[in-house]
Amino acid sequence: MIRIDILSVLPELLESPLNHSIVKRAADKGLVEIVLHNIRDWGKGRYKQVDDYPFGGEAGMVLMIEPIYNIISKLKSEREYDEIIYTSPDGEILDQPTSNKLSCLKNIIILCGHYKGIDHRIREHLITKEISIGNFVLSGGEIPAAVIVDSVVRLIPGAIGDEMSALSDSFQDELVAPPVYTRPADFNGWKVPDVLLSGNPKLIRSWQDEQSYERTKLLRPGMLKNKE
């Protein structure tokens, strides 16, 4: 079983995506335990303050070091964590190999960024991996955290009814997946390729490999550099 602790100032944003579909079924089966922690519960003073103005006079607010340090210290006193991840626009871009590696771990912390970001000392001394879901900025790290969790949980053996389905997804072999079709074989004159109706596994596989390569060349040409 994988345990994933998520630290956020708005944990309610994660309740819906983490309580439906494959992630919920995996949790119900005991394959993953996801624990949400409200950083504000560790805030200071009457108003549970967790953010403050940045040194240097820049605009925006920064998540303070103390509440985050205290949460992570408590969690680390209870178990050993394989990764402490920070969701950041300037982190490494999430890809399938990263999700594959994370799915093999036992205990993960995900810290959701918010406001202008977090005190950089957290990144220097506590964070072990920084992950981005793209070169753009969101209001907070909750959506990226949900994306990371979904991409990881679906790879846990038993999370998906047909485990081979996950192994044939796009990017598992560093190629885009081939086109897929279902019934009817002819709709408004739009026909399914004959090879898929041939019943010949060897021809079908050859067609799928060719399509994967051509679609990768068209849609993700940079990925083919790893194949050369």
pLDDT (tens digit, 9 = 90+) per residue, 39-79? 999 998 889 999 999 999 889 999 999 999 999 999 999 99
Q: Is 158 contained in some domain?
A: no
| H or E, element range at 107 | strand 107-112
Share of the chain above pLDDT 90, in %: 85
Q: Are residues 97 and 55 in the same domain?
A: yes
- Give the pair of three-digit tokens for residue 75: 């969690």
Number of domains in the chain: 2
Asked whether the beta carbons of 92 and 148 are under 8 A apart, the reply is no
What's the pLDDT score for residue 161?
A: 74
CA distances from 199 to 8, 96, 99, 190, 204 (A): 51, 31, 34, 20, 8
The CA distance from 33 to 1, in Å, is 7
Q: Are residues 42 and 143 in the same domain?
A: yes
Q: Are residues 120 and 16 in the same domain?
A: yes
pLDDT (tens digit, 9 = 90+) per residue, 146-201? 999 999 999 999 998 765 555 556 566 789 999 999 999 999 999 999 999 999 99
Q: Are residues 216 and 147 in the same domain?
A: no
| DSSP structural state of residue 113 | P
Mean pLDDT score of the chain, rounded to an integer?
93
- Domain end, chosen from 153, 179, 201, is at 153
The CA distance from 121 to 1, in Å, is 31
Q: Are residues 10 and 106 in the same domain?
A: yes
- Domain end, chosen from 120, 153, 186, is at 153
Backbone phi, then psi, for 164, in 5-degree steps? -65, -25
Q: For the domain that residue 38 is a member of, what is the CATH number?
A: 3.40.1280.10
- Domain end, chosen from 126, 153, 180, is at 153
Q: Would you call 219 helix, strand, or coil by DSSP?
A: helix
